[in-house]
Structure 1
């Protein structure tokens, strides 16, 4: 936290990739607030297989791969992928109706 403060970072988003780390999040969130950081809590962005949504899915009754079923990855040009690092373009968020993109995601996920 000290290093981030020296870099003039003002806000943090914390997440965990395991049950063990998830238990520690409140402690580290408190430390960040005490150090003067603002916590941003609305960023459950699954950038890789280690992400908050995957952890939530793991905690549920059914463990599943969330790519294409629980989340989609939108690139800056609007292309929609099942997840970061996936190559198949499901559609384009700027030009295609969401229902079509979601149907493609279902096909891709169940495929």
Structure 2
């Protein structure tokens, strides 16, 4: 039995929302507003930063209640090219799916939002 097949019988699928846009378009602002408004939901947040240092996770940490959100970072490359890192991150979230109600993915502002 495949890992995904086993999970689907035990836990309903997690909804995923992707925040994408150019640098400065308001992705992090929208995400922090959502976190402030949705106080009952538990989130897995995947933040994609192209650089070695993530700025967005610092901003998100200020808006987060650690008991209801976990931040996973994919850094130094775009998610589109970070196959193994992104896959490992998503599998970690999937393996611990009972902790979360929703997955939020914020792409790098360097990604082409198509």
Specify which structure has the higher proportion of strand: 2
Choose between structure 1 and 2 for higher RCO, CA contacts under 8 A separated by at least 6 residues. Answer: 2
TM-score (norm 1): 0.28
- Determine which structure has more spread, i.e. the larger CA radius of gyration: 1
